[in-house]
Every structure is written in C-alpha cells, then in structure tokens.
Amino acid sequence: MPFTVRMEDFDSIHDEWEEILPYCWTNTVFVTPTWQRVWWQHFGGNAELHILSIRDDDELIGIAPLMVKDDTLSFLGDTDLFDYHDFLAVRGRESEFYNALCNHIVDMDWNTLYLGSLLEGTPTLEYLSTLANRKGMSVETTEEDRSPITLLPSTWDEYLSTLRKKDRHELRRKLRRLDGVNTARQYQCAEADVTCCMTDFFQLLRASSHDKDKFLTVEREDFFRDIASEFAERDQFKLFFLEVDNIRVASCICFDYAGSYLLYNSGYDPEYSALSVGLLNKALSLKEAIEEGKQSFDFLRGTERYKYNLGAKDQVVYQMVISR
C-alpha cells in the first residue's frame, strides 16, 4: 500500500506528534506541537498552514510542520524565536518519510523551499538535497549560525576540570567574589509565580543591551508569556534569578527538555556588571543542570564569548534553499 500524506491541524495531530518525538532524530522543545502552536497563534499572520502527516497505512512515520507565504514554502516559525527547525521522521523510516514528503510537496504551489535552522547531522540535509536534485531542482546549503553546547559530567568538580585553565581560574575567582557578598543568592522562580516573574525578566532583558531592548516587542513579550505558562505546567520552564541585596540583578530562561537544559534568553542589570552577575547566573544554572543529572547544556544559537569560556563546543546550524 502506498504511503499517504494527510493535511492536519494542531488538534488532529497533537497527541501523535508528542508520541513520536522521542523516536525522531530531532527532538527539541522548538519542534514540539506546543511551541509551534503558540508561535502560530501569535505570528501566523497571512501564511497558510500546512501540517503534513506521512503514514504507512495508519502508522505515523513522520510530520512536516510547514507553511506557505507568497511563493515560499518553509518550516512553520521563524529564526527569531526558533533556534532549531526540522521535520519529524521516526528513526529507521527516514527514507520512506522523505520520499513520500518530496513526492507530495513537489506538486504544491511554491517557487522556493526555505528550510532554516537545521542542526548538523540531521537526515534532512542528506535526504532532501538528494531527492530535490533528482527532480531537477537546485539546492543550496549554507552555514547559518553556530550553536555551542556543553556535554555535562556527573559532578561540578568534574565539569570545572574540563575547562581551560584560564577559564577555570576566572570562573572560580568570580564565584568567590560573589560569595563574598552575603546577600547574593541564585534561585528558580516557582511555577505559581512565573507570570509575575516574567515582568522582572523582561526588565533585565531590556536593560542588558540595546539590541535586546529593540528585539523585545510587545508581540514577543506576549509570546514569551504564553510559552512560559505552557511549559511551566510541564515543569520544563526554568526561570533563574540572581539576587543581590534582595534585588534581582540577572535572569535567564532555560528549558528542561529531553535530558538537556537549553539556555534560551537572559538579561542582567549593567550596574552590577562588576560582579559578573550575567555570566554567573548562567554558570549556576549549568551547575543546577549537572546536579539534576542532565546530559548537556545547550547554549543555543550565537557565538558569544562567554559560552566558550564555560566550555561549550560549536554545533553548526545550516539553511537549505531549494528552488524549482
């Protein structure tokens, strides 16, 4: 029996989507149905939703969360609020999934297929480029960004030993200086207080740089609040604060997902920069991940120096553009 491709919506596919995620090469918070549904509700705009399920008889072997805008077919979402995108293909069924998907989308109305935020190693880069070339389409794959990540050992001391000597010395020195401030403490915002805490997070995000202040539009604030609410209910949203003299001086959002902490965004009060509060709040969040037995701490996209000072190694993020 040939493979079937069905048009879905978030309600019709949500439960199956959640069920297959652990069995896919790509399993990250950004490709969950919840993240994508919240984004669509806020930013879908004039785009046309195309959530495609690929099935072998009734067995779901993959999902393609896509949208069409003008003459471009793309992943659902954007690169401003998604660090990673991808198709969801069950391991071992990739060849069947990509063949069926390619045969379907070639008949859709588009001139450009834009696939951004693809993490190195994804089967999409190999399978889709090969299939598109066979159908006479042009394929251009380029590096889009870097996404540093740290693999976590079982203890904090082991982690410190993996850092370069200079970085280890600097981190210990800064932690000792913070310890000298009797009123300093780092903690996680309780689930019940997340809505209130987000207001302080936004203030620190805006204060930390002009670019972040410009980035944080009212629309994005609303998106972040809904994301915080949704994932806090699942105990996957971690909002960390560093306080000095009972004042919140640094904050960061981490998602606790699939055995990893993902550092999504952060902010700090520049008046306390002498205490390195922004860096130390992230380092202490990483320490929390180690104590909880997480496998990795993903700093997500961007090549800021502090990520490498904390021991991160690059992952390459690609974009693939297919043209008729």
179-195 per-position pLDDT tens digit: 999 899 999 998 879 98
Three-class secondary structure of residue 199 per DSSP: helix
Beta-bridge partner residues of 145 = 317
Q: Is there a domain that residue 46 lies in?
A: yes
Domain hosting 286: range is 149-298
**Nearest partner of 91 among 62, 48, 50, judged by Cα:** 62
If one counts the domains in the chain, the total is: 2
Catalogue the E-assigned strands of 202-315.
237-244, 247-257, 260-268, 296-298
CB atoms within 10 A of CB 296: 16
CB atoms within 10 A of CB 121: 12
Instruction: For residues 223-233, give the mean pLDDT.
Output: 97
Q: Does residue 282 share a domain with residue 180? A: yes
CATH of the domain at 100: 3.40.630.30
> Per-residue confidence at 46, pLDDT binned at 50, 70, 90?
confident
pLDDT over 70, % of the chain:
100
Q: Does residue 9 share a domain with residue 142? A: yes
- Residue pair 62/97 in contact (Cβ under 8 Å)? The answer is yes
Q: Is there a domain that residue 18 lies in?
A: yes
Q: Is there a domain that residue 305 lies in?
A: no
Query: Which are the contacts of 17, defined by CB distance < 8 A and separation ≥ 6?
Result: 32, 33, 63, 88
